[in-house]
């Protein structure tokens, strides 16, 4: 019996090391392939360990959120493939929470997460000094540290968490190596140049340390922060340039404004994953972001206003249960929640996994409601097998991407195999159209892609340009007009519309009077688009071009 427990512990620790380090190394499970691996791994863990589910309020809340966004994907999504990718993020909340809650050796699990943060930090610092393992670990223009996640602001979140954990470990054991690691985490946090995360982190750090420091130490700490900030301002550091008219802040405020307006008209959201395509239809300024930088607004757009309400309820349950404690985990909980008001960190699978693990370390907001039968886990075999097939499809896509320029025929065959396995992936129509030798076949594939997702601007652009090149002016006009409606602010799209008009007139398909009438109509549309841009946007020094 003791031998079985030891084997279970060894295998479990090895499992968590492999899956968490793999996830951190490969962009934190931001893209669908990483999310598939993470979901499959945790499903298999639940199935193999044979432990029953123990339902409590947080798990119930996560399951309700998952089923709400599942319904949104089934009934509202215009791209099931993107919708499935987003759904995989929501499924991680109940999956990882269940696994971490039932796992007894949370200290070891916490150390694995901590070491994954060290991995992220060390290789990020190496990359910043010119020794990068892969492209994208440091931004080209502003030289911001991004490490494996390839996004500075989420990397900054983990650097802040690593620094808090290092300080806490030093207070517990007085081991100087944690001071050194904390120093390195601090340097890495600074090099991300993430202003929002840096300000929130300083706020959290001050509250955390004030519980340990005497009056004199508190004054020294505050003075140190003040002097450091003055030095950063004098040095012209990006991280110190925080102002209300900062372009990034203005753009995010406009997205918040647009998101609220959409929800006022569509309280059930616009469909899971649809924001990536339909934002141009609703936006009031020429921005292009994959996600709104606010987890609560994004959840509402994905699945309706009930989704963020349940998520907020879970957060408040833990907040009121733990706010009197001085535990470092509570301050990290606050750091993640506060950053999520301005950032997209919850779109990374590794952030979701750490957040749910963190919840299991806090005082629980309620007792177990019900314990399921251990046989219930076998139901999870069905989604696990389905996800394995999706992962196989993704492997063929990766194979096709590698062969895209060297061997177009091999790429086409790989994309075709991927499409046979996952027919919901409408993005493969565009990929196959890129490599097929026949222009007629390429246009047919693009037409099929348009039928499944009429908001995909890359398909609309390719169709308009393809039919223009082929001299089919009626179709070129139709798709150029659709493109201008979907993404009106892009100068290339505006110029394409004018080019289609001119070519149609040049080919004697329109009389001069008819041509001038169409051109006048397009002029009026573009002027209306430009005049409707939100007044805040003019604080941004941009040319309305993406």
Can you tell me the distance from the alpha carbon of 263 to that of 280, in angstroms, rounded to the nearest whole number? Answer: 15
Query: 143, 240, 197: which is closest to 343 by C-alpha?
Result: 197
* pLDDT computed for residue 42 by the predictor: 96
Query: 242, 249, 144, 159: which is closest to 199 by C-alpha?
Result: 242
Can you tell me the distance from the alpha carbon of 23 to that of 4, in angstroms, rounded to the nearest whole number? Answer: 28
Can you tell me the distance from the alpha carbon of 499 to that of 148, in angstroms, rounded to the nearest whole number? Answer: 42
Query: 330, 363, 338: which is closest to 165 by C-alpha?
Result: 330
Can you tell me the distance from the alpha carbon of 445 to that of 467, in angstroms, rounded to the nearest whole number? Answer: 13
Tokens describing residue 515: 């041509």
Q: Is 494 exposed, middle or buried (0-12, 13-18, 19+ CB in 10 A)?
A: buried
3-state class (DSSP) for residue 352: helix
Give, in order, the Cα–Cα distances in Å from 310 to each of 88, 356, 381, 382, 415.
18, 15, 27, 27, 39
Locate tokens 């090099």: which residue? Answer: 191
- Long-range contact list for 443-450, CB < 8 A, 24+ apart? 443/467, 443/470, 450/479
- At a CB cut-off of 8 Å and minimum separation 6, what does 445 contact? 429, 430, 432, 433, 436
Residues of the chain with pLDDT under 70: 1-3, 212-246, 367-375, 539-546
* pLDDT computed for residue 234 by the predictor: 54
The H-assigned helical ranges of 340-472 are 349-361, 381-403, 408-421, 427-435, 439-452, 457-470
Q: Please provide residue 145's backbone torsions phi and psi, each rounded to the nearest 5 degrees.
A: -75, 125
Query: 75, 74, 87: which is closest to 36 by C-alpha?
Result: 87
Query: 494, 500, 482: which is closest to 526 by C-alpha?
Result: 494
Q: Give just the sign of the alpha carbon dihedral 340, 345, 348, 349.
A: negative
Query: 301, 271, 274, 282: which is closest to 76 by C-alpha?
Result: 271
Instruction: Return the DSSP state at 311.
Output: H
* pLDDT computed for residue 214 by the predictor: 63
CB 314, CB 322: distance < 8 Å: no
- Report the run of H or E that residue 370 belongs to, with start and end: strand 370-371
* pLDDT computed for residue 2 by the predictor: 62
Strand partners, 525: none
Domain ranges (residues) in the chain? 2-363, 454-539
Locate tokens 């290339």: which residue? Answer: 492
- Length of the chain (residues): 546
Taking the alpha carbons at both ends of the chain, their separation in whole angstroms is 63
CA 416 vs. chain centroid, Å, equals 28
CB 39, CB 88: distance < 8 Å: yes
Can you tell me the distance from the alpha carbon of 404 to that of 426, in angstroms, rounded to the nearest whole number? Answer: 18
One DSSP character per residue, 240-268 reads G---TT-HHHHHHHHHHHHHHHHHHH-TT
Give, in order, the Cα–Cα distances in Å from 304 to each of 176, 267, 274.
49, 6, 12
Can you tell me the distance from the alpha carbon of 288 to that of 488, in angstroms, rounded to the nearest whole number? Answer: 12
Q: Is 300 exposed, middle or buried (0-12, 13-18, 19+ CB in 10 A)?
A: buried
Residue 366 neighbours by CB distance under 10 Å: 11
Residue 492 neighbours by CB distance under 10 Å: 13
- Report the run of H or E that residue 54 belongs to, with start and end: strand 54-55
């Amino acid at each position: 019996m003791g031998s079985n427990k030891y084997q279970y512990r060894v295998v479990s620790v090895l499992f968590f090391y492999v899956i968490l380090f793999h996830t951190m190394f490969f962009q934190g499970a931001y893209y669908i392939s990483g999310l598939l691996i993470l979901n499959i791994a945790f499903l298999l863990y639940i199935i193999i360990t044979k432990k029953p589910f123990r339902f409590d309020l947080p798990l119930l809340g996560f399951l309700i959120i998952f089923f709400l966004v599942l319904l949104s994907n089934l009934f509202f999504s215009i791209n099931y493939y993107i919708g499935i990718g987003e759904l995989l993020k929501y499924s991680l909340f109940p999956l990882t929470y269940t696994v971490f809650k039932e796992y007894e050796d949370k200290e070891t699990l916490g150390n694995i997460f901590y070491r994954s943060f060290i991995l992220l930090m060390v290789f990020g610092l190496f990359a910043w000094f010119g020794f990068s393992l892969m492209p994208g670990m440091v931004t080209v223009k502003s030289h911001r540290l991004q490490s494996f996640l390839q996004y500075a602001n989420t990397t900054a979140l983990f650097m802040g968490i690593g620094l808090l954990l290092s300080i806490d470990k030093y207070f517990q054991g007085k081991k100087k190596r944690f001071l050194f690691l904390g120093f390195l985490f601090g340097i890495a946090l600074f090099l991300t140049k993430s202003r929002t995360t840096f300000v929130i982190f300083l706020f959290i750090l001050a509250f955390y340390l004030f519980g340990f420091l005497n009056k004199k130490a508190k004054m020294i700490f505050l003075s140190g922060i003040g002097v450091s900030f003055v030095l950063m301002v004098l040095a012209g550091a990006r991280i110190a340039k925080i102002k209300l008219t900062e372009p990034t802040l203005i753009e995010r405020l406009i997205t918040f404004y647009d998101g609220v307006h959409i929800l006022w008209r569509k309280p059930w959201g616009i469909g899971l994953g649809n924001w990536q395509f339909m934002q141009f239809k609703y936006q009031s300024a020429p921005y292009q972001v994959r996600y709104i930088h606010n987890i609560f607004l994004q959840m509402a757009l994905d699945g309706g206003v009930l989704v963020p309400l349940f998520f907020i309820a879970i957060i408040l349950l833990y907040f009121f249960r733990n706010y009197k404690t001085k535990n470092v985990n509570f301050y990290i909980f606050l750091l993640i929640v506060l950053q999520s008001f301005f950032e997209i960190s919850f779109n990374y699978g590794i952030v979701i996994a750490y957040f749910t693990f963190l919840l299991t370390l806090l005082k629980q907001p309620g007792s177990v409601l019900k314990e399921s039968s251990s046989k219930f886990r076998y139901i999870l075999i069905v989604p696990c097998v389905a996800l394995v097939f999706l992962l196989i499809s993704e492997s063929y896509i990766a194979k096709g991407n590698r062969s895209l320029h060297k061997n177009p025929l091999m790429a086409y065959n790989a994309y075709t195999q991927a499409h046979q396995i996952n027919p919901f992936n409408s993005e493969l129509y565009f990929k196959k159209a890129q490599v097929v030798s026949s222009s007629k076949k390429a246009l047919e594939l693009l037409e099929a892609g348009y039928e499944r997702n009429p908001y995909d601007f890359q398909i609309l652009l390719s169709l308009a340009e393809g039919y223009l090149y082929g001299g089919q002016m009626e179709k070129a006009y139709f798709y150029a007009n659709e493109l201008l409606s979907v993404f009106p602010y892009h100068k290339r799209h505006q110029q394409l519309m004018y080019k289609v008009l001119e070519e149609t007139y040049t080919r004697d398909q329109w009389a001069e009077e008819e041509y001038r009438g169409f051109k006048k109509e397009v002029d009026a549309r573009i002027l209306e688009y430009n005049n409707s841009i939100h007044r805040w946007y003019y604080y941004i020094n941009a040319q309305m071009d993406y």
